[in-house]
Amino acid sequence: MRVLVTGGAGYIGSHTVVSLLESGHEVEVVDSFVNSKPSAIRRIEEITGRAVPAHSVDLRDRAAVSGLLADGRFDGVIHLAALKAVGESMQEPLAYYDNNLGSTYSLLQAMAEHDVRTFVFSSSATVYGAKAPVPYREDFEPLESSSPYGQTKVMIERVLEDVAVADPEWRIALLRYFNPVGAHESGLIGEDPQGVPNNLVPFIAQVAVGRREKLSIYGGDYPTEDGTCERDYIHVSDVAAGHVAALEHLVASAPQVRAWNLGSGTGTSVLQMIKAFERACGRELPYEIVDRRPGDLAAFWADPTRANAELGWAATRTVDDMCADTWRWQSANPTGFPD
Ligand code: UD1
């Protein structure tokens, strides 16, 4: 298939582009490059030996998006472009609603205009909110999220359901990621957060490489086995493979809009993650336990049964693989992608 990947220079996007190319698809990228660098595209080309056309476009620019999709150039779109920092979304909700919703509307309108109706959407486990029973299952309702970032994911899922009701030719996958971590096994691409990392594994990696003094563990008194929060960490290359599986399933099936969890089905605590990273980098990592971070849930993980059964997809890489690959990327690229 000829696939347009929005946000294809970003963390999950770059790994997804590699997986698509390795599965024989043709790929172009559109990215605003506000949170990513063009050198990520060059690294993808180095890994795959293929040229990857990349367009620098803000998706809210309707004319530009329509131009990209013109002339029947694409069979489907994988939409990962979005702002994604939870804390920042609390400070700047309008920027998040404007960017994440506006870019999606513009993209969907251009797709309909040019008769492209196969769409894979980057959603998140955050849509299950605080009340869903663990493990999370796709049929849980009502969806809700505690942050504007998460609300944009809930709202876009709803928009896509309405689009599919109005025009039943759409084929739409809602991929609810759990906690993607790790890096490509080559060490050439990985997560490159701008500023202080918000998420656990990028922070640990920067402590390991000497960019940060120590990790703060947010809370040691949760009702979990060791008192720290548990999450369903999933290797980013498994997440990438999930996109390819979803796309191929969509085109092989009747039109539908359907959600799939991309998770492993197991929880790992913050302390267990630190220990795994210490095995990967070969030294002890300094940490202290501090207050809980507001909004954090004690423990959640996926029920991945639906994706296993319907997409023929399952997470295959272990927590040790995730840490070893993150360490390979971080130690070879201590300050992230080159400019
Ligand atoms: C976060 C977002 C979620 C988003 C996901 C993307 C919040 C509340 N949730 O999930 O909406 O989809 O990232 O990957 O931000 N931790 C520490 N010290 C740190 C950083 C994290 O102890 O410096 C702990 C957290 O308390 C949490 C665990 O590590 O228990 C994982 O945190 P993080 O990587 O930020 O992911 P989530 O909070 O699960």
Is 85 part of any domain? yes
Give me the mean pLDDT over the 118-133 stretch: 97
pTM: 0.97
> Is 177 a catalytic site residue?
no
Structure tokens at 87: 């804390």
Residue 119, pLDDT score: 98
CATH number at residue 71: 3.40.50.720
Confidence band of 262 (pLDDT split at 50, 70, 90): very high
- Are the CB atoms for 298 and 230 separated by under 8 Å? yes
Three-class secondary structure of residue 305 per DSSP:
helix
In a domain, 273, yes or no: no
Neighbour tally for 72: CB within 10 Å? 10
Q: How many angstroms is it from 231 CA to the middle of ligand 1?
A: 8
The reply to whether 219 falls in a domain is no
Report the distance separating Cα 163 and Cα 169, nearest Å: 10
Is residue 283 included in any domain, yes or no?
A: no
Q: What is the dihedral of CA 118, 57, 176, 188, to 10 degrees?
A: 110
Q: Considering 149, 177, 222, 233, which one is annotated as catalytic?
A: 149
The total number of structural domains in the chain stands at 1
For residue 147, the CA-to-ligand 1 centroid distance in Å is: 13
Q: Can you name the residues that pair with 123 across neighbouring β-strands?
A: 176
6, 77 in Cβ contact below 8 A? Answer: yes
Structural domain of 69: 2-181+234-263
- Look at the chain and count its residues: 339
* 60 CA from centroid of ligand 1 (Å): 28
- The percent of residues in the chain predicted with pLDDT above 90, rounded, is 98
Please check whether residue 192 lies inside any domain of the structure: no
Give the residue whose CA is nearest to atom 18 of ligand 1.
217
Q: Is 198 in the pocket of ligand 1 (CB under 6 A)?
A: yes
Q: What is the spatial distance between Cα 212 and Cα 36, in angstroms, rounded to a whole number? A: 21
